[in-house]
Structure 1
Amino acid sequence: MKLHHLVREPKVKLNKNPLLLLLHGYGSNEEDLFSFASELPEEYYVISARAPYNMQYGSYAWYAIDFDADENKFSDLNQARESRDLIAEFIDELIANYPIDANNITLIGFSQGCILSYAVGLSYPEKVQRIVAMSGYFNTEIAKEGYEKNDFSNLQLFASHGTVDQVVPVDWARKAKPMLDNLGIENVYKEYPIGHGISPTNFFDFKKWLENDNN
């Protein structure tokens, strides 16, 4: 399969089960977000993917981030777009290999994984029904050209950010809501008094959002 991944099978087996696909941050790996798999709703397949670029010592990235002499950050947008399409193809592979409901797919992304979740969901809304976008932002340059014309009627989004995040400024995250509102995408945006991470309250809120949305 396209991406190395960990699987937590649903405890409640249905004919086809919904999927939570976890996408980790820059320099992390598939075990990071998978650590809270046991806390996620029991009817889901929980699958955590490892990003394709190996940074050694168990660290991986969805795309390179380089610094110049003045400490400006540059993202490799071509790599980011390749990862976007890789994740989209990986979703198809998962549906083909596991009894997953193709109409009930949620991306849960943190940091760089959040940036990719936005890009995949808005480029391929026919493949994704929900996005949980934590501690990242919507980079329109990584989305497929002409994404604005897509049908977003089945897409919903929960975004969250720490107000004292030193890695991804909260201002970047705040720009997503007006853009999503403009595209007619149902979305919730919450902030927490934390840095670059997921607080217990944040976790509880997105879990509650998932559960409410499915009932």
Structure 2
Amino acid sequence: MSTIDASVARWSLDETERAGKPLIVLLHGVGSHEGDLIGLTPYLSPEYAYVSLRAPQTYGGGWSWYPLALPGAPAYEGVDEAGDAVLAFLDGLGGAHPTVSLLGFSQGGSLSLQLLRKAPTRFEAAIVLAGFVVPGGTPAVDDAVTAANVPVFYGRGDVDQVIPADAVARTEEWLAAHTDAEITVYPGLAHGIAQEELDDVNAFLGRVRGA
């Protein structure tokens, strides 16, 4: 059973400053760590508190949310187990935050969409950067995502050589079928995050909060 080590989670604000703020959970990519995406927070909306989690499995010099398999097509059960770990972490926060949203990069992006499948009414929004949806969701699970109508932002580069083309196509098809996603492709961007993309994320968050 996977668990999140809350003691190493990196927060953007001190506890007294973040109480009562909407929360965004940052989910890093494979081989990375909790100190990675927290570096984006100076460029993201100050309306939110941010927490960056460490994935539970070791991978090289970093961490992984679930076992790797065929690129872009991990075993559904392993991703589901990682989702359970994140939900348990959020349970531990009690009612400290009025809403919770997700921002995941690459493998963390796949986990963000899996969390929508596991608890579609729990999240205000999901931001997926250079990620993908995991194959294997049942119609009942994915129909619950449709019913929840959670806003999703999906950004990727058009020269990303890490996420396979079939995983990108699967993700865009799934998003079109089950969400009202904003999909933006960034010319010349490889497997990374650009300032233009962060600007678009902030605009998206503004629309979410203003809805």
- Answer yes or no: same fold by TM over 0.5: yes
2:146 is equivalent to residue 138 of structure 1:
no
Alpha-carbon distance, 1:121 to partner: 1.2
Q: How many residues were matched structurally?
A: 204
Cα RMSD of the aligned pairs, angstroms, is 2.7
Aligned match of 1:63: 66
Per the alignment, in what secondary structure is the counterpart of residue 91 of structure 2? helix
Comparing 146-155 and 161-170, the one that deviates more: 146-155
Question: For residue 49 of structure 1, what is the amino acid of its counterpart?
Answer: L
CA distance in 2 between partners of 1:145 and 1:127 (Å):
19
Does the Cα contact within 8 Å between 1:107 and 1:130 map onto a contact in 2? yes
The alignment partner of 2:24 has SS state of strand
Structure 1 match to 2:155: 160
2:55 is matched with 51
The yes-or-no answer on 1:190 pairing with 2:184 is yes
Higher helix share: 2
Please state how far the C-alpha of 1:170 moved relative to its aligned partner.
Answer: 4.5
- 1:91 is matched with 90
Q: Report the Cα distance in structure 2 between the residues aligned to 1:149 and 1:49, rounded to whole angstroms.
A: 28
* Aligned residue in 1 for 2:36: 32
> Cα distance 1:110–1:73, how it changes in 2: closer, same or farther (>3 A)?
closer
Equivalent residue in structure 2 for 1:210, among 201, 205, 208: 205
Is the contact between residue 20 and residue 107 of structure 1 (CA under 8 Å) also seen in structure 2?
Answer: yes
TM-score by length of 1: 0.83
**What is the match of residue 149 of structure 1?**
143
Listed as ranges, the gaps of 5+ residues in structure 2 are: none
* Residues 31, 63 of structure 2: 8 Å contact kept: yes
Provide the residue aligned with 1:100 in structure 2: 97
**Structure 1 166/127 Cα, relative in aligned 2: closer, same or farther at 3 Å?**
same
Deviation at 1:47, TM superposition (A): 0.3
1:112 — aligned with what? 107
Give the SS at the match of 1:208. helix
What residue is the counterpart of 1:19 in the other structure?
Answer: 23
Say if 1:159 and 1:25 are closer, same or farther in 2 by CA, change over 3 A. Answer: same
Residue type of the alignment partner of 1:176: T
Q: Distance in 2 between matches of 1:62 and 1:52?
A: 6
Identity of aligned residues (%): 25
Q: Structure 2 residue aligned with 1:178, among 148, 153, 173?
A: 173
Corresponding residue for residue 120 of structure 2: 125
Secondary structure (helix, strand or coil) at the match of 2:55 reads: coil
Secondary structure of the residue that 2:22 maps to in structure 1?
strand
1:119/1:174 Cα in 2 relative to 1: closer, same or farther (>3 Å)? same
Contact kept, 8 Å, 1:7 with 1:47, in 2: the verdict is yes
Classify 1:212/1:13 alpha carbon distance in 2 versus 1 (closer, same or farther; 3 Å): farther
CA distance in 2, matches of 1:132, 1:76: 22
Unmatched segments (≥5 aa) in structure 1: none
> Cα distance, 1:77 vs. partner?
3.9
CA distance in 2, matches of 1:199, 1:48: 19
SS of the aligned residue for 1:195 comes to coil
Secondary structure of the 1:35 match is helix
Q: Which structure is higher in RCO with an 8 Å CA cutoff and minimum separation 6?
A: 2
